[in-house]
A = this chain, B = another copy of it.
Amino acid sequence: MIAIASRKEVAELAGVSEATVSRVLNNVGPLKEETKQKVLAAAKELGYVPSSLARSFARKRSGNLGVVMPYLPKARLFSAYYFSEILSGIGSKAREEGYDLLMLFRDPDGTLDYSGMFGMRKIDGCIILGAKDEPEELHALRHIRDEGQPFCVINQHFEGEGFFEVDADHEVGSWQAVKHLIQQGHRKIAFLNGPPEYSNSRDRHNGYVRALKEEGLEWDSTLQFKGNFSRRSGIQAAAGMVAVLDRIDAIFAANDRMAIGLQQGFREQGIPDQRIPAIVGYDDSDAAELTNPALSSVRVPFYQLGEIAASRVLQMMEDGTSSELLREPKQIKLPTELVVRASSSP
């Protein structure tokens, strides 16, 4: 019998999504018996037969979308706003398309064998979070790129590699934060940045320097501080700033957790509220609204980053190497937005 009906027509007759039709006909993943029967009946009625090649190809699939998580010892990974929002975005897209998420944890002693994950059919596609600019990571990513596997890196840029990457524009985001502090009349603006292995730390540094320059301010090495994105590292940074507090008008922190740590740290050091510098955080997490004073912050569309990365990888998985995506720009940068609250305005 010749397949004259389209997948779309089968979906309409059965009253299900096209993705569900594919999953039933390709026998991918668990499905309700009732749904199966509806789809099979509709396919039969319309004389729809997918090609056996497509079917056997599809049978090799796991039905899993991999998400690579960073190794952070003892950290409560899912509790960080950053990861939980991105994962929620990825999860919602995966669920829509009938895929399950496989969370892959990096070893403390190295990166994952991404290629092996595909080879052993644990995953059909992959989204990589918390990648660092390090040789082992780059090697593993080049390997799957050269194999033509569908994958996307979130929030990390590898120059000249042609990976699919989805990120927010952290240079502009940081520029927005520092520009705002300068407009509030501050001149001596300290910067608490994250670790330099992340490209987004470099982006933030560039935005900070650019805003200073535009206003004719000098970059001052004694106003640079480093944390690891934890609240604790913000508390520690505050302790280090106390001795030079007369030389600091305002602070830009690379995420909200560190910014909240700064607020807390200054109080622990006995600094009166009116002497605590103006502070702008980054991420605009749930906590920013709840802290006292409420924290100004740079809103990053994490949920959308996850959604877009998942959409692209799922699309590549569906299309294979013929994907039109391959002709699109490979780097997507979403805009950020400054949210001003009491911590940086009178």
Instruction: Assess the A79–B286 pair: CB atoms within 8 A.
Output: yes
Instruction: Assess the A122–B100 pair: CB atoms within 8 A.
Output: yes
The DSSP consensus for interface residues of chain A is mixed
**A31: CB under 8 A from chain B?**
yes
**A102: CB under 8 A from chain B?**
yes
Residue of B31, B95, B107 near A113 (CB, 8 A) is B31
Instruction: Assess the A87–B78 pair: CB atoms within 8 A.
Output: yes
Residue of B84, B102, B260 near A102 (CB, 8 A) is B102
**A81: CB under 8 A from chain B?**
yes
**A117: CB under 8 A from chain B?**
yes
A residues sitting closer than 8 Å to B (CB atoms) are 29-32, 62-64, 69, 74, 76-79, 81, 83-85, 87-88, 91-92, 94-95, 100-105, 107, 109-110, 112-113, 116-117, 120, 122, 260, 286-287, 290-292, 303
Instruction: Assess the B74–A79 pair: CB atoms within 8 A.
Output: no
Given contacts A102-B64, A287-B286, contact A112 B30 (CB under 8 A): yes
Q: How many copies does the complex hold?
A: 2
Given contacts A78-B83, A287-B287, A290-B287, contact A105 B91 (CB under 8 A): yes
Instruction: Assess the B84–A94 pair: CB atoms within 8 A.
Output: no
Instruction: Assess the A117–B287 pair: CB atoms within 8 A.
Output: no
* Residue on B nearest A78 in the bound complex, by CB: B84
* Residue on B nearest A105 in the bound complex, by CB: B95
A69 proximity list for chain B (CB < 8 A): 91
A107 proximity list for chain B (CB < 8 A): 32
